[in-house]
Amino acid sequence: MDSQTLLYIVPLCGVLALTYAVLRGIWINKQDAGNERMQTIAAHIREGAMAFLRREYSVLAIFVVVVAALLAWANYSNNAGLIGVSVLAGALCSGAAGFFGMRVATAANVRTASAARSSLNQALKVAFSGGAVMGFCVVGLGILGLSTLYLLYSGMFVEGGVTDLNRVIKVITGFSFGASSIALFARVGGGIFTKAADVGADLVGKVEAGIPEDDPRNPATIADNVGDNVGDVAGMGADLFESYVGAIIGSLVLGAAAALNAGETGRAPALVLLPLVLAGLGIVVSLASTFLVRTKEGGNPSHALHAGTLSAAVVMLIVTYFVTRALVTDTYPLAAGGEFGAMGIFWATLAGLVAGVAIGLITEYYTSESRSPAQGIAQESLTGSATNIIAGLALGMKSTALPVIVLVAAMMVAYSQAGLYGIAIAALGMLSTTGIQLAVDAFGPVADNAGGIAEMSHLGPEVRGRTDRLDAVGNTTAAIGKGFAIGSAALTALALFAAFRTTMGLEEIDVANPKVMGGLFLGAMLPFLFSSMAMQAVGRAASAMIEEVRRQFKTIPGLLEGDENAEADYATCVDIATQGAIRQMVMPGVLAISVPVIVGFYDRSGATLGGVLAGVTATGVMMAIFQANAGGAWDNAKKYIEEGHHGGKGSDAHKAAVVGDTVGDPFKDTSGPSLNILIKLMSVVALVIAPLLI
């Protein structure tokens, strides 16, 4: 096959992923949706989730169209205005993935609960299928959109019979920007929604009124379940969509630069073709691995999930080895001297893959309730909430060390083996199996929802036991997924940073130059400011929710007493969380997008902007890890106590641990994960405006 043919096969991999997603979706919808009560509750959740998405997308649509138009106008000459089309396509693909993923996830939740009435394996299968639809929509639409645009542009921008790679690349970066915009608002908005609902439901329901979690009398309980979907399904999906697309585009930019530098031309030189082909093959490998995810009654669902992701990683590595050797036959110069070829690229991919797995395992170590760090926090809860908080903060801060060392090692290996291109390829290596990774991730909230529905529908303890089992596994996979999301965001941001520098043609970004140092300081400050805004946004949205729940308990007669005829007004709670989230996501979003633009045009040399990007990436990664792990460890320290240690539920230690868990909630579900987006988005904005600065 020549490279021309291969280029056409890449979008077909996307089509394959989407076909699989559709088939899985149809299969899920065919499953038993349970009794009437279950269906009613599930309908409430689905309506709430879709209503949130609609509202969010209406705001986003305006934003994206305006930005696309501005970028098209600013780049109008020479057909570069097509960048506006790329932005729209990126936003549309990411939005569509979120839309379909969420539709199916909100169908899978109730069917998982229903399946749990008969078998653990069947419940696992439904929940995992629900996650898989999200996963394969993301990679399918990502690669389909991107490769179609590539085919289009590389056919259009032809000069004297030869494709003008530079112009293709310049225009295609908009796709990443579109994806980032969706990701920003989906992560921030979804994070605010989910925590506002959670805090509202817990504080008034559990603490003040003393009714159990997921009790149908609690008006915020539907909003709480909606929140799991908009935060952990749609938010996480948009986050990984951005990383996935960002890593590919970073590789395209740096691959094209290396190829042109080596005098290669053509529609798709090897270094440009390779990331597209690897991403396509990653889909096929991920898809095949989904069939490994199955368990027996009494078996361990987490082994089933790990079998899927690990086998995907191993197979992908073997595939990468042969594909890279087949495609990359030349060698390219390294800036540090020497040259790199196929093997160098392979080692870079390996570095990325290993780093991804390692960071996941480290995250699991620091947050799992069966390991000493979280148990240490449980121990500190014995002396009160203050020591619980200090222990959690100290743990979160300490837990930055190992992941950072792993990241730096991966980056150094990748760079030494294949230059800047190697860093982008390492990010891609980490992300090539995103399909199954995200399937496992999104499985968590589906299982969580299933548990909620089972509780609200008064299904028996055996059913609840099965969903709890899945939910517990979901918590571990969520922790690993968070580590993976941060690690991939960091490598992607570094790849985009390198792409920015290459596009700007910057000789150096010298931190000893006070402009760069000033930028570095400003950049390092942004994750702090951004986290603070996200936390305060949760606080504000949660207050509105608390008031509403209190109002309903007071004004709806018989509600608290459990009167058959009294029904909570779930919709208003969903509405309040939606409004709060959408209103509160604007300011952080504006900050993230405006800072690189303002700094970029203030100092058009790119030096200050380079400093800002370096600062925001370095500090953003630390703050993301710190907050995610502290939050995860607090959560599991509480669970550890609830299992009966240190006095169990209701003890003083438990009360102290609940404080830690509440503090950890916005940390791990709102401000922490939003930083992944912040660092990628700012690099993307810089990359997109780079041609305008020169």
Contact 424, 497 (CB under 8 A): no
Retrieve residue 260's tokens: 């042109």
Q: How far is the CB of 427 from a copy of itself (least distance, A)?
A: 13
Residue 651 binds a copy of itself (CB under 8 A):
no
Residue 563 binds a copy of itself (CB under 8 A):
no
Residue 622 binds a copy of itself (CB under 8 A):
yes
**CB-wise, 281 or 411, nearer to a copy of itself?**
411
- Angle, in degrees to the nearest 10, between helices 372-380 and 652-666: 120
Question: Of how many residues is the chain composed?
Answer: 694
Q: How far is the CB of 193 from a copy of itself (least distance, A)?
A: 17
Residue among 135, 666, 673, 691 that touches a copy of itself (CB under 8 A): 666
Residue 539 binds a copy of itself (CB under 8 A):
yes
Stretch that binds a copy of itself, among 70-78, 276-284, 339-347, 508-516 (CB under 8 A): 508-516
Distance CA 349, CA 431 (A): 10
Residue among 621, 637, 675, 678 that touches a copy of itself (CB under 8 A): 621
Q: How far is the CB of 622 from a copy of itself (least distance, A)?
A: 5
Q: How far is CA 563 from the centre of its chain?
A: 41
Residue 645 binds a copy of itself (CB under 8 A):
no
User: What's the 3-state SS for 124-188?
Assistant: HHHHHHHHHHHHHHHHHHHHHHHHHHHHHHHHHCEECCEECHHHHHHHHHHHHHHHHHHHHHHHH
Q: How far is the CB of 291 from a copy of itself (least distance, A)?
A: 38
Residue 393 binds a copy of itself (CB under 8 A):
yes
Query: ∠177-183-189 over CA atoms, to 5°?
Result: 135
Q: How far is the CB of 498 from a copy of itself (least distance, A)?
A: 7
**CB-wise, 68 or 426, nearer to a copy of itself?**
426
Stretch that binds a copy of itself, among 78-86, 343-351, 435-443, 522-530 (CB under 8 A): 522-530
Residue among 120, 618, 677, 688 that touches a copy of itself (CB under 8 A): 618
**CB-wise, 168 or 410, nearer to a copy of itself?**
410
Retrieve residue 654's tokens: 């438990």
**CB-wise, 536 or 572, nearer to a copy of itself?**
536
Distance CA 288, CA 282 (A): 10
Contact 453, 212 (CB under 8 A): no
Q: Which of residues 134-163 bind a copy of itself (CB under 8 A)?
A: none
Residue 43 binds a copy of itself (CB under 8 A):
no
Residue 411 binds a copy of itself (CB under 8 A):
yes
- One symbol per residue from 195 to 234: x for binding a copy of itself (CB under 8 A), - otherwise; what is it? --------x-------------------------------
Contact 424, 13 (CB under 8 A): no
Residue among 180, 251, 349, 385 that touches a copy of itself (CB under 8 A): 385
Helix (H), strand (E) at residue 332? strand 332-333
Distance CA 141, CA 89 (A): 10
**CB-wise, 518 or 647, nearer to a copy of itself?**
518
Phi/psi of residue 159, each to 5°? -125, 115
Query: How many other CB atoms are found less than 10 A from the CB of residue 598?
Result: 12
**CB-wise, 378 or 516, nearer to a copy of itself?**
516
Retrieve residue 217's tokens: 């009398």
Contact 656, 388 (CB under 8 A): yes
Distance CA 26, CA 103 (A): 12
Retrieve residue 360's tokens: 């996941």
Residue 404 binds a copy of itself (CB under 8 A):
yes
Contact 244, 261 (CB under 8 A): no
Residue 598 binds a copy of itself (CB under 8 A):
no
Residue 497 binds a copy of itself (CB under 8 A):
yes
Q: How far is the CB of 240 from a copy of itself (least distance, A)?
A: 22
**CB-wise, 1 or 512, nearer to a copy of itself?**
512
Residue 508 binds a copy of itself (CB under 8 A):
yes
Stretch that binds a copy of itself, among 307-315, 360-368, 442-450, 656-664 (CB under 8 A): 656-664
Stretch that binds a copy of itself, among 90-98, 210-218, 240-248, 526-534 (CB under 8 A): 526-534
Distance CA 276, CA 515 (A): 37
Helix (H), strand (E) at residue 276? helix 270-289
Count Cα atoms within 13 angstroms, Cβ side, for 477. 33
Contact 226, 197 (CB under 8 A): yes
Contact 94, 145 (CB under 8 A): no
Binding residue count for a copy of itself, defined by CB under 8 A: 69
The DSSP secondary-structure symbol of 34 reads: -
Q: How far is the CB of 626 from a copy of itself (least distance, A)?
A: 6
Residue 302 binds a copy of itself (CB under 8 A):
no
- β-bridge pairing 339-340 and 332-333: antiparallel
**CB-wise, 97 or 614, nearer to a copy of itself?**
614
Phi/psi of residue 332, each to 5°? -130, 150
Max CA separation in the chain (angstroms): 79
Residue 374 binds a copy of itself (CB under 8 A):
no
Q: Which residue type does 297 have? A: E
Contact 36, 458 (CB under 8 A): no
Residue 626 binds a copy of itself (CB under 8 A):
yes
- One symbol per residue from 419 to 438: x for binding a copy of itself (CB under 8 A), - otherwise; what is it? -x--x---------------
Distance CA 158, CA 153 (A): 9
Q: How far is the CB of 398 from a copy of itself (least distance, A)?
A: 4
Retrieve residue 255's tokens: 């691959």
Stretch that binds a copy of itself, among 266-274, 339-347, 531-539, 682-690 (CB under 8 A): 531-539
Q: How far is the CB of 377 from a copy of itself (least distance, A)?
A: 12
Q: Which residues contact 77 (CB under 8 A, 6 or more apart)?
A: none
Residue among 156, 307, 319, 394 that touches a copy of itself (CB under 8 A): 394
**CB-wise, 506 or 597, nearer to a copy of itself?**
506
Residue among 501, 638, 654, 668 that touches a copy of itself (CB under 8 A): 501
Q: How far is the CB of 300 from a copy of itself (least distance, A)?
A: 33
Residue 614 binds a copy of itself (CB under 8 A):
yes
CB burial class (10 A; 0-12, 13-18, 19+) of residue 53?
buried
- In 519-640, DSSP assigns E strands to none
Q: How far is the CB of 561 from a copy of itself (least distance, A)?
A: 26
The DSSP secondary-structure symbol of 212 reads: P
Tell me if residue 259 falls in helix, strand or coil: helix
Q: How far is the CB of 494 from a copy of itself (least distance, A)?
A: 7
Tell me if residue 508 falls in helix, strand or coil: coil
Residue 693 binds a copy of itself (CB under 8 A):
no
Residue among 31, 194, 457, 619 that touches a copy of itself (CB under 8 A): 619
Chain residues that interact with a copy of itself, rule: CB under 8 A: 203, 380, 383-387, 389-391, 393-395, 397-398, 400-401, 404-405, 407-408, 411-412, 415, 420, 423, 494, 497-498, 501, 506, 508-512, 514-518, 520-525, 528-529, 531-533, 535-536, 539, 610-611, 614-615, 618-619, 621-622, 626, 658-659, 662-663, 666
